[in-house]
Homo-oligomer: A and B are copies of this chain.
Amino acid sequence: MIQKRTFSIGELSSEFDVTTRSIRFYEDQGLLKPTRRGQTRIFSTKDKVRLKLILRGKRMGFSLAETRELFDLWDETPTGNEKQLLKMLTILSNKRAHMEQQKSDIAMAEMEIDTAEARCREALTELQKKKKQQAPANDEPENIAKKTDNN
């Protein structure tokens, strides 16, 4: 046995930390296509992979409809005609552009977070100074009072 081939909805739910409601919703929207044993859903590894892609897509800001469109196109790719394939290439190119935008956004945000953190730490040490001035000339070590919980 190379791999467990099927999964219950509960297994996927807990593995990816997503509600069963969501998983059923994704099926309803045509993103997952589990088979059935009786009325119980049985998910393949392909479904599992797709679920992972759905969630990553969400984190990247894609709607379910977009992701679904990608899945459908991808399924048609091996048998696709020239027009389909060219459409796929265009979409891929668009995704790339989207990702470049995101990388740029992230880079700028990172810089700003750096300066924000610096400003914060500065304000903190400023507070420490004032504390010292208010409680002057004391031979007990200060760092006992300076304990901070970093939660």
Interface residues, chain A, CB within 8 Å of chain B?
A: 56, 59-61, 74, 77-78, 80-82, 85-86, 88-90, 92-93, 95-96, 99, 101-103, 105-106, 108-110, 113, 116-117, 119-121, 123-124, 127, 148, 150-151
Contacts and interface: CB of A to CB of B under 8 A. Distances in A.
Sort A-B residue pairs by CB-CB distance and give the 5 closest, nearest first. Answer: A85-B124, A56-B105, A88-B120, A92-B117, A61-B61
Given A59-B101, A80-B123, 6 more contacts: A92-B116, A92-B120, A95-B109, A96-B113, A99-B110, A102-B102
Q: Is the interface of A mostly helix, strand, loop or mixed?
A: helix
Contacts of A148: 82, 86
Contacts of A77: 116, 119-120, 123
24 contacts: A56-B108, A60-B102, A60-B105, A60-B106, A61-B61, A74-B116, A77-B116, A77-B120, A78-B123, A82-B127, A82-B148, A85-B123, A85-B124, A89-B121, A89-B150, A92-B113, A92-B116, A93-B151, A95-B113, A96-B110, A96-B113, A99-B109, A99-B113, A102-B106
